[in-house]
Amino acid sequence: MTPDQIAQLDPVIHSRVRLAVLSILVSVRDSSFTYLKETIGTTDGNLSVSLSKLEEAGYIALKKSFKGKKPLTTCTATDKGKKAFSKYLKALEGILYFKGEEERDSHLNDRRQGS
């Protein structure tokens, strides 16, 4: 692992809550604030701050409306957010598989042989 590889991780995404939010939103059309909060297991305040940071980066869009008399916030991943998430995953993959092929293959062979 190198410092350059770590620097490629998007700091906007690289937090537990924001990563969880984007992980959910890239796989669905949209999601309510309540669903995200319950699924991620975070507080209203923590989720609200995280959503604001993602919205400021242009990674998500927020739509505020009412369902009856209750406020309803709906979150959607933007194209920019989907691309950033994909880039983040590729950067993470690069960190996980940072060794050259020969070194990695040698390490795998050592593990298979019980070394």
Q: Residue 3's pLDDT band (boundaries 50, 70, 90)?
A: confident
Determine the pLDDT at residue 38: 97
Domain count, the chain: 1
How many Å apart are CA 69 and CA 71, to the nearest integer? Answer: 7
Tens digit of each residue's pLDDT (9 = 90 or more) over 89-103 = 999 998 887 655 555
How many Å apart are CA 4 and CA 2, to the nearest integer? Answer: 5
pTM of the shown model: 0.79
> Which domain, by its residues, includes 73?
3-112
Tens digit of each residue's pLDDT (9 = 90 or more) over 4-30 = 888 889 999 999 999 999 999 999 999
Amino acid at 81: G
Residue 16: give its domain's CATH number.
1.10.10.10
Q: Which has more confidence, 76 or 8?
A: 76
